[in-house]
Amino acid sequence: MNLITSFLLILVLTTQIFAQQKYFGVDGKNITDRDGKVFVMKGVNLGNWLVPEGYMFKFNKANSPTRVNNVITELIGPAETKKFWIEFQNNYITYDDIKFIKASGVNSIRVPFNYKLFCDETYLWNTNSRGFELIDRLLEWCRIENLPIVLDMHAAPGGQTGDNIDDSYGYPWLMVDEDSQNQIIEIWKSIASHYANEPLVLGYDLLNEPIAHYFEEENLNGNLEPLYKKITASIREVDQNHIIILGGAKWNTDFSVFGKPFDEKLVYEFHKYWMPPVQKEIQEYVDFRDKHNVPIYMGESGENDDDWVKKFRELLDDNSISWHFWPYKKMDNTRGPVNFNKPENYDLVNGYAEFDRSTYKSVRENRPDIVKVKLALNGYLEQCKFENCFPNEGYMDALKLDYSKKAKIN
């Protein structure tokens, strides 16, 4: 073997090794980082940023993205509403947020998104390229901070949950509608093609909280894993690099819908809220991990007091389970790492959202002064900026996160 041949062989082998280590992977029960070492996710969800939720706006009745948008449009009109959402997306999560998240000790984040950001359907006045623009910008910030992300389809075509969180029509039509299934397959394939060579993408979370418990008599659960298989097959046509994350039925709690793993890079995700933070509440997922020799991941929890969060986080750590708590930031609320104050006159916005708006007459009669409403909404856009946020110290202590870096970033 001559010198040139030897050099080329070494180059090929080195390239292969580098390629194998470039992306996050799966090794038995463990997620592995880009160096092949065990990686346990510890982080937060960027909730409300790309999928606005009514309760984070202090709305009860207008609780989905579409309904939140309708309230704001009724209050200030379509042109001003378009400006509001563009500025909201620019202000709510910024590079300063990402710097703080990383500095606090977080090693990864979950990014919920609405499928409409990646197609021609109207959504918060965006174009069909807006999703890639926002995620690409986020990735540039995350690249500087070395903070990997999980891409989470929180709202899917037709609706996967059948409630407010999926911005649907009150039924998980995705589970029975072929057109919706074809659309989600194509959107995930497009996303995977775009990010196939992106090492900062940790994985693709195919569906958030599919099939709410309201629909048990509909026998929809059996449709979930076959759909996951179709989406995964489509992704693998363009991307063999990234982890695929599968959530269970009934709000990501029911793993009985799963058979044997059908891909070499699967992670199984559960969510847990409002239960005692004790071993028996997660044992079925630990048993699933042991039986199938696959990683499990707690993708959402929180919305509770500091003591509960601390105990549940410790339980997850004791079981070597990856976690992302929900959400990172929220207005006038201590149940999350970061808080910001409610702006002046915001009660006018909140009050209108709770009125009966079922007729045009009620909309006309209940609409408050537009000048004050604009001031309130502009105040929201200002208050949600990182510079005006402050840490919930007890909550961050519960997650073993360091809030002292906030002042340094400001």
pLDDT digits (tens, 9 = 90+) for 184-203: 999 999 999 999 999 999 99
pLDDT digits (tens, 9 = 90+) for 32-72: 999 999 999 999 999 999 999 999 999 999 999 999 999 99
Contact 163, 211 (CB under 8 A): no
Q: What are 309-313's contacts with CB under 8 Å, separation 24+?
A: 309/395, 309/398, 309/399, 310/397, 310/398, 310/399, 311/277, 312/272, 312/277, 313/398, 313/399, 313/400
Mean pLDDT of the chain: 94
According to the 3-state scheme, what is the secondary structure of 59-126? CCCCCCHHHHHHHHHHHHCHHHHHHHHHHHHHHHCCHHHHHHHHHCCCCEEEEEEEHHHHCCCCCCCC
Instruction: Assign 5 a pLDDT band (cuts: 50, 70, 90).
Output: very low
State the burial class of residue 360 (Cβ atoms within 10 Å of its Cβ: 0-12, 13-18, 19+).
exposed
> Closest by alpha carbon to 393, among 410, 376, 380, 405?
405
Look up the CATH superfamily of 49-409. Answer: Glycosidases (3.20.20.80)
Instruction: Assign 7 a pLDDT band (cuts: 50, 70, 90).
Output: very low
pLDDT at 294: 99
For residue 34, CA distances in Å to 20, 44, 205, 265, 269 come to 8, 21, 19, 14, 21
H or E element in which residue 16 lies: helix 3-21
Domain residue limits, the chain: 49-409
| Average pLDDT estimate for 246-259 | 97
| Average pLDDT estimate for 164-185 | 96
pLDDT at 409: 67
Task: Tell me the angle at which helices 78-92 and 370-383 cross, rounded to the nearest 10 degrees.
Answer: 20
Instruction: Assign 231 a pLDDT band (cuts: 50, 70, 90).
Output: very high
pLDDT at 124: 86
pLDDT at 17: 43
Instruction: Assign 410 a pLDDT band (cuts: 50, 70, 90).
Output: low
- Other CB atoms within 10 Å distance of the CB of residue 324: 29
- Other CB atoms within 10 Å distance of the CB of residue 163: 18
Q: What is the pTM of this model?
A: 0.93
pLDDT at 62: 93
pLDDT at 2: 55
pLDDT digits (tens, 9 = 90+) for 295-322: 999 999 999 999 999 999 999 999 999 9
- SS3 assignment, position 391: strand
pLDDT digits (tens, 9 = 90+) for 261-294: 999 999 999 999 999 999 999 999 999 999 999 9
**Neighbouring-strand partners of residue 114:** 155
| Average pLDDT estimate for 97-106 | 98
**Amino acid sitting at position 192:** A
| Neighbouring C-alpha atoms within 13 Å toward the C-beta of 338 | 29
Instruction: Assign 217 a pLDDT band (cuts: 50, 70, 90).
Output: confident
Q: What is the CA radius of gyration of the chain?
A: 22
Instruction: Assign 19 a pLDDT band (cuts: 50, 70, 90).
Output: very low
